[in-house]
Structure 1
Amino acid sequence: MKNTPWLVIGAGAIGLFWACKLEKLGHKVHLVYRSENPGSKITLESLTDEEGHQQIRVSKHKVKSFKPESLTKQYNKVLLCTKSFDLTTAFSQIADKLTHDAHIACLCNGIGAQEALQQLTLPEQTLWAGTTTEGVLKIEANHIKHTGLGDTYFGLWQTDRQSSPFPLEGMTVVNIHQRMLEKLAVNAVINPITAIFNIHNGDILNDEYATLMNATLNELAQVFAHRQFTYVKESQHLTAENLKNRINTIAQLTRLNRSSMHEDVRLHRRTENDFISGFLLASSPIELPIQRLLHDGVAYSEQREDIKKKLLTLSL
């Protein structure tokens, strides 16, 4: 299977990074772009070495780029690196170029888009959901910076089905839903708060946000432990203390970064709000007034100032 090319969908930061990573691992890669052609060579600038030490390295990676309509090959492995709201549309554009038994992997934030994608796949195709903590920044159409080492995991979206092994060794876990919920929980705090208050990730640890942070974590812990929550088996370990430790660590490690949602709001782009706070609001068996404020503060710019005041006057 290694001799057949990987089809990577999406020429954003993560898509370009994975095109480089797969090429470095010895795979042929065909990259699908929508608007901006990255050309045939991608520049990857790494700010850390494999042990995480500061060391700037620049490498060039030869990758063929295509528009969806120009694809002619039959691909048996595809990696979708799109925003959650673009996932099914992107898949529909290349679905007829895949083999009937193709491995389909996706890396996108939040939960919800994966199930919609599952409905579009053929019975013999296998969907692998993924989550990553790699830090990558897109500088130009064909230039990215790897700003922070992270982990990437894939797992069967339908955990009860049998499948041939994932096409990449050492990257699969049996508890992918747990991993995704852990990341979603962090995103449901850091992303909307930084977007609404226009702050860097590390700023959420400032004293002025302490009450908001504690109230948000307590609310999330309640839904994650609720026996009627769909993923309670995978989420019940996410107590308020557990969540606080996770978020403190990530906020400190990425203290000078701006979250993806912060950037989307700042640049007036569509966010993945509906697949993070929106997912929680739709699937929670209990009311989530703080997540509702965070969701609406991102979704409705005209309400943002009033919502900021409400969030800062929360009481425990």
Structure 2
Amino acid sequence: MNVVVIGAGAVGQLMASFLAEAHMHVTLVVRRQEQADELQLKRLTRVHLDGTQTVHQIASTVELKTVSKPDLIIIAVKYRQLQNIYKQLVDVPKEVPLLFVQNGLAHFDEALSLPQQTIAFCSVSFGAQIINLTTVQHRGMGLCKIGVARGNDGIFHQLLKIQNPLCPIEMVENAEQMLFEKAVLNCLINPLTAILQIKNGELLTNKHAFFLMHTIYQELTEAFVDVQQTIPFSAVITLCEKTGENTSSMLADRMQGRKSEVDTIVGAVLQKASANGYPLPTLRILYHQVLAMEESGEQY
């Protein structure tokens, strides 16, 4: 299978590594020629949870249009970069399936406006961290969920054959619900870790952080009646345990002085709750606190 991964961030590099390990031909589309050259020279290295390393040869380019006849395109960039990517995808043949790997909800309707016949979405819970231009570290075990919103799911069932215990893949029926559930989990973890400057696991060991997380969870279950059943609080605790050493994406953005995805994640959930008549006061305060930090330029 000829797979293109757009985006050489932590998630993009980790997915590219697992796909290459499954003997697929992988092309990583990067923004800078320097990184493309480095990947060709040094190859892509994945550092495992136990510190061992796996190295894979992949192709790399800065131009999507140079890739010939892809069987699947995976878009693994931040939401803020999607507008530019959409323009490039318009020229991709309609029969090429697209798989979007973003946090939040804002990209769902946008992606479905593209001309491609098959559009799918992916939610990942594994931990990953960029070490350098050619090295990514696998920081925490997690599931890769795929939901097809439009078109044929055949190409994605081929991915199920990978059967790598380090990157388990699961197909789900409702792509939009999958994204919403991931956004709920992000709301419980990301803003708190970014504001308090702590790793995921400390949400369990810091009693005040735990209290805030549980309070937000209670607010969410009042606004969305299905949350308590689909995402029991025990699952939130388990996720924090499994990704205990992870730096959340929102905290990583703060550390790097980047604008976070708080709008497309927390803002979108607040908007849905408000439409149901629930203001989510605790989460709303955290939302504005993250925005205030970004506006003031405050970093880690």
TM bucket (normalised to shorter chain) is: 0.7 to 0.9
Distance 2:295 2:214 in 1: 23
**Higher Cα Rg, which structure:** 1
Task: Establish whether residue 264 from structure 1 lines up as the match of residue 256 from structure 2.
Answer: no
**What residue in structure 1 maps to residue 178 of structure 2?**
179
Alignment of 1:43-82 (within 5 A): 43-47=45-49, 55-68=50-63, 71=66, 73-82=68-77
Q: Tell me the CA shift for residue 175 of structure 1.
A: 3.3
Deviation sequence 1:121-152 (CA, Å, 0-9, x none): 11x52111111112211100001111222211
**What residue in structure 2 maps to residue 51 of structure 1?**
none
Give unmatched runs, 5+ long, in structure 2. Answer: 161-168
Task: Establish whether residue 280 from structure 1 lines up as the match of residue 272 from structure 2.
Answer: no
Among 166, 176, 182, the alignment partner of 2:155 is: 166
Conservation of the 8 A alpha-carbon contact between 2:216 and 2:280: no
SS at match of 2:24: coil
Task: Establish whether residue 99 from structure 1 lines up as the match of residue 113 from structure 2.
Answer: no
Distance 1:65 1:72 in 2: 9
Among 19, 25, 30, the alignment partner of 1:28 is: 25
Conservation of the 8 A alpha-carbon contact between 1:111 and 1:184: yes
Among 238, 241, 245, the alignment partner of 2:234 is: 245
- Percentage of identical aligned residues: 26
1:76 to 1:255, Cα distance in 2 relative to 1, 3 A: closer
Letter in 2 for 1:254: T
Higher mean Cα deviation, 138-147 or 241-250? 241-250
Conservation of the 8 A alpha-carbon contact between 2:10 and 2:130: yes
Distance 1:69 1:241 in 2: 38
Distance 2:85 2:294 in 1: 31
Task: Establish whether residue 220 from structure 1 lines up as the match of residue 251 from structure 2.
Answer: no
Give unmatched runs, 5+ long, in structure 1. Answer: 48-54, 226-235, 305-316
SS at match of 1:87: helix
Distance 1:213 1:147 in 2: 22
Q: Tell me the CA shift for residue 200 of structure 1.
A: 2.0
Q: Tell me the CA shift for residue 93 of structure 1.
A: 2.5
Alignment of 1:94-173 (within 5 A): 94-96=89-91, 98-119=92-113, 121-122=114-115, 125-158=117-150, 162-167=151-156, 168-170=158-160, 171=169, 172-173=171-172
Conservation of the 8 A alpha-carbon contact between 2:126 and 2:243: no
Distance 2:35 2:107 in 1: 26
Count of matched residue positions in the alignment of Structure 1 and Structure 2 = 277
Distance 1:70 1:163 in 2: 24
Letter in 1 for 2:12: G
Q: TM-score, normalised by structure 2?
A: 0.84
1:277 to 1:297, Cα distance in 2 relative to 1, 3 A: same
Q: Tell me the CA shift for residue 256 of structure 1.
A: 2.9
**What residue in structure 1 maps to residue 84 of structure 2?**
89
Conservation of the 8 A alpha-carbon contact between 2:141 and 2:243: no
Q: Tell me the CA shift for residue 70 of structure 1.
A: 5.9
SS at match of 1:300: helix
Q: TM-score, normalised by structure 1?
A: 0.80
Distance 1:147 1:30 in 2: 23
**What residue in structure 1 maps to residue 192 of structure 2?**
193
Among 29, 35, 38, the alignment partner of 1:37 is: 35
Q: Tell me the CA shift for residue 92 of structure 1.
A: 1.9
Distance 2:194 2:283 in 1: 14
Deviation sequence 1:285-308 (CA, Å, 0-9, x none): 22222222111111111899xxxx
What is the RMSD of the two structures over their aligned residues, measured on CA atoms? 2.3
